[in-house]
A and B are shown apart, each in its own frame.
Chain A
Amino acid sequence: MVKPFRLLVILFLVICAVLSFFPFFLMLSTSFKPVKEVFQISTHLLPQNPNIDNYIRVFRESQIVRFLANGAIVTVGILLGQLLVVIPASYAFAKLSFPGQRVLFAVVLAALVFPRYIAAVPNFLLLSKLRLINTYAALILPFIGSPFGIFLMRQYFKQIPSEYFEAARIDGCNLLQMLSQVLIPLIRPAVGAFAIFSIVTHWNDFFWPLIVVQSSNMYTPPAGIVYFADVEAGTNWSVVMAAAVVIITPLVVTFLLARRQFISSLTHSTIKG
């Protein structure tokens, strides 16, 4: 009685897996198809004459390298900026006590739930007033003060025994030494978890680049691929698919290499959409 049931379960999983994986499969197989094959409707799912011409074309003729570089600059810039402001703040919330602490932390918690759409128009106005539209700064600055980062790091700091900090203080550490010699080594795992969350969020962000970028050479990967698809679509799906493969590769590879950390880091960040 048990055996057929389990077989059924596995069959179900396989069917779901095929459906779930199909877009990836199609993207990969199409990206190796010569352009002609794509237009022969209802032919084969796998390329008949696989080649890498599409990839060569993508790298030669599109701005994809620029998109990837923009993505790297923006995500790394955001992450570094976030760590610089988030670590001191969360240390203060977790390990010091001062008047107004609870109120200020409640303020951070409130920021955690604000939807991004309400800030979009004023942030755009502010950045254009500062003449920063279409710059990296416009893509980076709005995300530096990360309430989620403060929340996550504070929780982690709280688990670290205060004795570490007291010992360091007795040894005469000043605040800077305290941060660099004691704190940073202790919080490396939390930094890792936050880094995955931050990089995935901002590498994948499509909304904000669409608003503050005005020339295609400033697009980050998601806006870049959509722009490229709009230019090429209808004529060259196989090249577009090759570009899509290139753009999802960095995160997908990271995910496959560090599945557990990846999943837990993305599921701890519940409310921010």
Chain B
Amino acid sequence: MRQQPKSLLCSNNCMTNLSSRPARLSRRAGLRYLSPYLLLFPAFLFLGLFVFWPVAYSIYLSTMDWKLGYASREFVLLDNFVDLLTSDDFWNAAKNTGIYTVLMSSLSIGIGLILSLAIIGARRFHSFWQALFFLPVAATMAAMAVVWRFIFDSHIGVLNAFLLRIGMNSVAWLTQNTTAMGAVIVVGIWSNAGYAMVFFIAGLSNIPKTLYEAAAIDGASSPRQFFSITWPLLSPTTLFIMIIMTVRALASFDIVKVLTDGGPVGATQVLSHLLYEEAFKFFDTGYASGIAVVFFILVLALALLQMRVEKWVHYQ
């Protein structure tokens, strides 16, 4: 923000330079005045076409009763939302999204925190451990979800092979509704814990070493040091990660699509996947746009929260 007056001054200087050559002033000055907008134009063209217009159009469509491919389109105001809020499918998906989001993000954060503390505690091979746990984040999720499908496979899956070997019965992990959501959450944690870990490592390395030295001199035990120094100083980071993880969990689509396709009988149906099915399988455009708007409100609320937290994290 500080730089704004300075650059304003600079462009004023340029104007005065130019005014010593009055003949070329008007053309040059005009171009100078226009050039910022010319530079912005391509970006805003694409943003407008593929981001802002779609958002506005989605909101408009959410007030329409329209199935893709049908000629008739009827203005129904809030009917789609009424349908949405009275349909079992929506509430089932909302419930599943809630369960997935809470469990996946809290467990990923917990594991990420423990991993980061362990890595720093191990003192050696920092970047080796970090790379190892970040690997699932770097690998293409859809491909790895296929691997997980193989692990959970009820006939030749590795997990069942293991269970049989230790004398237990095999389980149809992905096709019975008591275990499907659990499997999806496990894969979610597997792919996100490393992401949380990276933020925690950054947060931990920002805590001044002198605090621990002072605490050690005062005779504080390790757990005491954790709860009196690490945890409070890490809490802005933790809050920040919580929001990021929540957004990631809400937007998560690949795992459910590949592992269970929302099944069995809706047991793993989440909002993003419900939207995909309504819009592109059943072509119920109005209804799907209603889900999109609900989604939009959720993520927007989280984004506003994040902006608040971001300020707090940076200016603490």
Contacts and interface: CB of A to CB of B under 8 A. Distances in A.
B213 to A, nearest CB: 16
Contacts of B68: 125
A77 interface: no
A252 to B, nearest CB: 6
Given A9-B122, A23-B151, A92-B39, 15 more contacts: A13-B119, A21-B132, A89-B39, A101-B36, A104-B40, A104-B44, A108-B43, A114-B51, A122-B58, A143-B50, A229-B149, A244-B147, A248-B140, A266-B138, A270-B244
Interface string A79-108: 000001110110111011110010010011
A162 B7 contact: yes
A46 interface: no
A38 B158 CA distance: 10
A169 interface: yes
Contacts of B33: 98
Nearest to B17: A170
A113 interface: yes
Given A97-B8, A98-B37, A247-B143, A124 B280 contact: yes
A38 B150 CA distance: 11
Interface stretch (B75-83, B85-93, B193-201): B193-201
A187 interface: no
A23 to B, nearest CB: 5
B63 to A, nearest CB: 14
Interface residues of B, number: 109
B58 to A, nearest CB: 5
Interface in A102-137: 104, 107-108, 111-126
B143 A20 contact: no
Contacts of A175: 35, 39
A177 to B, nearest CB: 13
B55 A30 contact: no
Max chain A CB contacts within 10 Å: which of B129, B139, B222? B139
B46 interface: yes
Interface string B269-296: 0001001100110000100110111011
A156 interface: no
A271 B306 contact: yes
Given A115-B296, A162-B6, A273-B247, A108 B47 contact: yes
30 contacts: A21-B135, A23-B151, A26-B147, A26-B150, A39-B156, A42-B164, A85-B42, A89-B42, A113-B303, A116-B251, A118-B292, A121-B61, A121-B279, A121-B292, A122-B53, A126-B49, A126-B53, A147-B51, A162-B7, A206-B141, A225-B146, A234-B155, A237-B153, A247-B140, A262-B138, A263-B130, A263-B134, A267-B198, A267-B199, A270-B247
A184 interface: no
A226 interface: yes
Contact of B136 (A20, A88, A98, A147): A20
A16 interface: yes
A203 interface: yes
B132 A120 contact: no
Given A121-B279, A248-B144, A207 B253 contact: yes
A91 B37 CA distance: 11
A271 B304 CA distance: 11
A159 B112 CA distance: 32
B134 A119 contact: no
A115 B251 contact: yes
A141 B132 CA distance: 35
A242 B314 CA distance: 45
From B54, B122, B141, name the one whose CB has the most chain A CB atoms within 10 angstroms: B54
Given A20-B194, A121-B289, A169-B14, A92 B149 contact: no
A260 B165 CA distance: 41
B129 A244 contact: no
B219 interface: no
A142 B156 contact: no
Given A119-B50, A122-B53, A267-B195, A237 B156 contact: yes
B278 to A, nearest CB: 9
A211 interface: yes
For the complex of A and B, the 10 pairs showing the least CB-CB separation, nearest first, are A145-B46, A273-B251, A222-B142, A113-B303, A122-B54, A89-B43, A119-B54, A145-B47, A88-B39, A255-B138
B303 A271 contact: yes
Contacts of B54: 118-123, 126
A74 interface: no
A200 interface: yes
B304 to A, nearest CB: 8
A9 B121 contact: yes
Contacts of A93: 40
B39 A240 contact: no
Contact of A273 (B42, B190, B252): B252
B265 interface: no
A20 B132 contact: yes
